[in-house]
């Protein structure tokens, strides 16, 4: 079963992701970049779902920081944001952007498209 790490400080969003995807994917959650980096020390997910507005770093900055680690740079990413103002073009390995709030079908389609399922 593929593993997805959702990085979002909104516990409701993390709960929705777990509810929408939990039957088909192993879902890990982190509420900050620092918490996500701790999880990434021990497991490499198949996909990262990253909120753009995190408490300790912007999502696009987090993506840029992953490029310096050979173990992590190839993980595909979907960025999430409640506003299109925060979309940063050219963010490394971001294959899709999804606007919050999202519907179940939107999230499933985005994840399926990125993972090639």
> Which letter does DSSP use for residue 29 in this model?
E
**Beta strands per DSSP E along the chain:** 3-7, 26-30, 47-51, 77-81, 94-99
* Structure confidence at residue 117 as a pLDDT band (50, 70, 90): confident
- Indicate if the pLDDT at residue 8 is higher than 80: yes
Task: Give the C-alpha distances (Å, rounded to integers) separating 115 from 32, 61, 72, 98.
Answer: 23, 23, 16, 15
Rounded percentage of the chain residues whose pLDDT exceeds 70:
92
Taking only the tens place, the pLDDT of each residue in 72-108 is: 999 999 999 887 655 556 666 788 889 899 999 999 9
pLDDT, mean of residues 21-35: 96
pLDDT, mean of residues 51-68: 90
> What pTM did the predictor assign?
0.91
Element (H, E) at 89: none
Round the average pLDDT of the chain to a whole number and report it. Answer: 91
Exposure on the CB side of residue 70, measured as CA atoms within 13 A: 0
Residues contacting residue 2 through CB under 8 Å, at least 6 positions apart: 24, 25, 26, 45, 46, 47, 115
Exposure string for 52-89, b = 16+ CB within 10 A, e = fewer: bebeebbbbebbbebeeeeebeebbbbbbbeeeebebe
**Which pLDDT score, from 0 to 100, does residue 25 have?**
97
CATH number of 3-115: 3.40.50.2300
């Amino acid at each position: 079963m593929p593993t997805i790490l959702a990085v979002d400080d909104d516990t409701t969003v993390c709960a929705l992701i777990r509810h929408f995807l939990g039957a088909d994917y192993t879902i890990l959650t982190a509420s900050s970049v620092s918490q996500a980096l701790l999880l990434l020390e021990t497991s490499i997910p198949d996909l990262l779902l990253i909120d753009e507005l995190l408490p300790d770093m912007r999502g696009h900055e987090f993506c840029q920081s992953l490029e310096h680690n050979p173990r992590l740079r190839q993980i595909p990413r979907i960025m999430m944001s409640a506003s299109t103002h925060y979309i940063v073009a050219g963010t490394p390995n971001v294959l899709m952007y999804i606007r919050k709030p999202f519907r179940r079908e939107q999230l499933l389609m985005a994840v399926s498209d990125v993972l090639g399922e």
